[in-house]
Amino acid sequence: MLGRLKILLICVVVGFGGMLPATADHLAQDCDPAGESAPAYNTLEDVSGGQLRPLMTEHLSDPSGMIASDDIHTHAFSYTPCVDRYAIKRPDGALWLRFTLNNPNDHRVEWRIAFMETIFDEMALFEQTETGLDELARNGRTVPTDQRSIVSVRSALAVTLAANETKEFYVRVAGTFTPHATPLLVSEEFFYRWSTSFQTILIVLMGLIALLIMLSLILFRQVTTEFYKYYTLYLLASFMFIFILYGWFHRVFDVQFPVTFTVPAIQLAVGVGVITNIQYTRVLLSSGKRSRMQQRGFVILTVIAVALCGIAVLSPWQHAMPNVLMQFISPLILLAFACARLGRGLPQVLPLCGSLICLVIGLAIANYFFVFPPHITASDSVIEVMRWRAGTYSYTFAIIGEAMFMMLAISMMLQGIRSRSKIAFEEVETLRRSLEATQAKNAKIAEIAQARARFVEDALGDEAEERVLHFEDRLEVRARKIVLDNVGKEGFGPQALGAELGVSERTLSRRMNDALNISPARFIRETRLELARDLIVLRHYSSVAEVAYATGFSSVSHFTRLYGAKFNETPRETFKTTKRAKAAL
């Protein structure tokens, strides 16, 4: 089992490792640090290998977000060579970019000003004219659809230059999810392919999650009610994370949610995903015996996840990182819990480990490249550009891998449940037939006893009622049958037994002492104990507590003490003896 897990881990690591983007500082190698005052000059040439390139630009940070376009000339811009991303203050700050575009071609060209990041409340493009700045285009999540420059899954601004034209432009961006903005210059055709490919991956991923949600609601609920609820909620959290993060609300419903709402909502989706992941893993590992340490581990993990989620939602800009790290750390801990259960008779543990491994590796890649994004170089390959932001496809593969292994785990768990149900059904059928045979025998005895009683009553006249119950067989059989019929009633005692026999409790006590040399209370107790022993021998129940409650005892310890006094062994010892005898057969 451990060997299989190692092979599985190696395959997943190699597979993900092969998809990792290169993190070398290509921009630093390709650029020419020609001085701090080098112009931010960009040429729109139709060349291969440069359909997407870093935008060479001067930059100005606006921490307050209050600098207006009319006052922009009063502020000094900076130019930093060999830098492709610029810091931006969250959530209220803005970033100004100033750059020059030149079209050396003899025909009109249209390019895009885009960003590697996906969340921006607002992007605005301005052209420098003799009278000041004229706004050319707007885009972003708080911009109404009819005012957006380009309606696509990726926000961008369209810029057009006539043949042999050179112009100076400004771009203002505000309301970001990440602390940096990475401006790009992208050709129209390349941007279409890039945005379409990106959108296709997201649609496939969300479609897969939606399918899993339906499967969970229809099929997974056959496992346990707890599991399908937690797993469905986990999938819903994953779906909402993607739906909010990549701006599907403003694309599908034209809802303008600002980043101050978007980021707490994303943190809530992350936190709910972590919490439900912990819970459905707990359910999958709940079969069999768990150590107290592991049980406490699940409780502690849940408490920490709830606390970090609440803090991140209330203060996402200062305290979001612990919640994001918990998204990666909790599957690691859950993987350790699952590995500890390997080889202990739970077939679903191995695929569960595979599921958690996919989550760990996928989330590790996504979080690493979110914090440490690689530098951007000129490219005309959509695949290469998408590899620069590994978070999207690594998260996609994490969800797909997790889903595949989880389906396998669930199918194994269902198979185990069906197998146990079949065995339990066969044992119930055996017990039912035994009870039916006993009831038939008791009915025959009761019929004979009643016939004898009628004969005695006829012979004895008025003294029949007083003397008939002295016949031990009739009294014992009727009393035992009544006790067995009411064995599940916790409060059933001598008074109730006497009422069923048609005599007072006092009369019943006197007649039982005369006929059987036993008190009614003791008779009831010993009848229940004998039934309990039969249930254990037949293995109708798997625990002492279940047997105790089934035979009318409210206290397991009291039942154990009485059982030991009658049979000179504890119920647990009877279980073990029966198990050994069954194994020997």
Q: Domain holding 83: CATH number?
A: 2.60.40.2380
> In a 10 Å sphere around its CB, with 0-12 CB exposed, 13-18 middle and 19+ buried, how is residue 232 labelled?
buried
Spatial CB neighbours of 421, under 8 Å, sequence gap ≥ 6: none
CATH of the domain at 574: 1.10.10.60
Q: Are residues 402 and 496 in the same domain?
A: no
CATH of the domain at 367: 1.20.1070
Spatial CB neighbours of 480, under 8 Å, sequence gap ≥ 6: 442, 527
Residue 204 lies in a domain: yes
Q: What is the pLDDT of residue 214?
A: 85
Q: Are residues 217 and 145 in the same domain?
A: no
Structural domains in the chain (count): 3
Q: What is the pLDDT of residue 443?
A: 67
Q: Inform me whether the pLDDT recorded for 24 exceeds 70.
A: no
Residue 358 lies in a domain: yes
Beta strand 94-102 with 58-62: parallel, antiparallel or unpaired?
antiparallel
| Cα 567 from chain centroid (whole Å) | 49
Place of tokens 């612990």: 322
Closest CA to 560 of 574, 546, 575, 544: 544
Say if residues 267 and 314 touch (Cβ distance below 8 Å).
no
Residue 426 lies in a domain: no
Q: Inform me whether the pLDDT recorded for 456 exceeds 50.
A: no
Q: Are residues 148 and 288 in the same domain?
A: no
The mean pLDDT value of the chain amounts to: 80
Residue 478 lies in a domain: yes
Q: Inform me whether the pLDDT recorded for 467 exceeds 60.
A: no
What does the alpha-carbon distance between residue 345 and residue 347 come to, in Å, rounded to a whole number?
6
Q: Are residues 137 and 230 in the same domain?
A: no
- Tell me the pLDDT tens digit for each residue of 413-453: 667 666 666 676 677 777 777 777 777 766 665 565 565 45
Place of tokens 């590697």: 116
Q: What is the pLDDT of residue 478?
A: 82
Q: Output the CA–CA distances (angstroms, integers) from residue 47 to 52, 158, 377, 384, in the order listed.
A: 10, 19, 14, 17
Q: Inform me whether the pLDDT recorded for 342 exceeds 90.
A: no
Give the Cα-Cα-Cα angle 463, 443, 430 (nearest 5 degrees).
150
Residue 303 lies in a domain: yes
The two tokens of residue 268 are 């809530």
Residue 40 lies in a domain: yes
Q: What is the pLDDT of residue 530?
A: 85
Q: Are residues 185 and 219 in the same domain?
A: no
Q: Are residues 262 and 331 in the same domain?
A: yes
Say if residues 212 and 403 touch (Cβ distance below 8 Å).
yes
Q: Are residues 296 and 231 in the same domain?
A: yes
Long-range contacts of 490-498 (CB under 8 A, 24+ apart): 490/552, 490/553, 490/554, 492/524, 492/552, 493/520, 493/521, 493/524, 494/519, 494/520, 494/521, 494/524, 497/524
- Mean pLDDT across 317-329: 89
Q: What is the DSSP letter of 375?
A: P
More confident residue, 373 or 301: 301
The two tokens of residue 492 are 């059933």
Spatial CB neighbours of 355, under 8 Å, sequence gap ≥ 6: 401, 402, 404, 405, 406, 409
Q: Are residues 140 and 262 in the same domain?
A: no
- Mean pLDDT across 202-208: 87
More confident residue, 444 or 124: 124
Spatial CB neighbours of 148, under 8 Å, sequence gap ≥ 6: 138, 139, 140, 155
Tabulate helix, strand, coil % of the chain (nearest 5).
Answer: 60, 10, 25
Residue 542 lies in a domain: yes
Q: What is the pLDDT of residue 584?
A: 59
More confident residue, 219 or 306: 306
More confident residue, 259 or 497: 259
- Tell me the pLDDT tens digit for each residue of 220-236: 665 566 677 888 898 89
Q: Are residues 298 and 408 in the same domain?
A: yes
What does the alpha-carbon distance between residue 105 and residue 86 come to, in Å, rounded to a whole number?
30
Q: Are residues 300 and 329 in the same domain?
A: yes
Q: pLDDT tier at 502 (50, 70, 90 boundaries)? A: confident
Q: Which helix (H) or strand (E) holds 94?
A: strand 94-102
Give the Cα-Cα-Cα angle 478, 482, 483 (nearest 5 degrees).
115
Residue 280 lies in a domain: yes
Q: What is the pLDDT of residue 458?
A: 57
Q: What is the pLDDT of residue 425?
A: 66
> Model-level pTM greater than 0.85?
no
| Cα 135 from chain centroid (whole Å) | 46
Range of lowest pLDDT (96-105, 182-191, 446-455): 446-455
Q: Are residues 210 and 140 in the same domain?
A: no
- Mean pLDDT across 360-373: 80
Q: pLDDT tier at 585 (50, 70, 90 boundaries)? A: low
Q: Among 143, 159, 190, give the residue marking a domain's end.
A: 190
Q: What is the pLDDT of residue 39?
A: 63
Q: Among 166, 190, 214, give the residue marking a domain's end.
A: 190
- Mean pLDDT across 452-461: 51
Q: Among 190, 220, 240, give the residue marking a domain's end.
A: 190
* pLDDT > 70 in the chain, percent: 80
Strand partners, 110: 160
> In a 10 Å sphere around its CB, with 0-12 CB exposed, 13-18 middle and 19+ buried, how is residue 568 labelled?
exposed
- Tell me the pLDDT tens digit for each residue of 30-87: 455 554 455 668 998 876 668 899 999 999 999 999 999 999 999 999 988 878 889 9
- For 248, the domain range is 2-20+200-421
Q: Are residues 532 and 575 in the same domain?
A: yes
- Would you call 37 helix, strand, or coil by DSSP? coil
Q: What is the pLDDT of residue 8?
A: 42
Range of lowest pLDDT (192-201, 295-304, 479-488): 479-488
Q: What is the pLDDT of residue 30?
A: 47
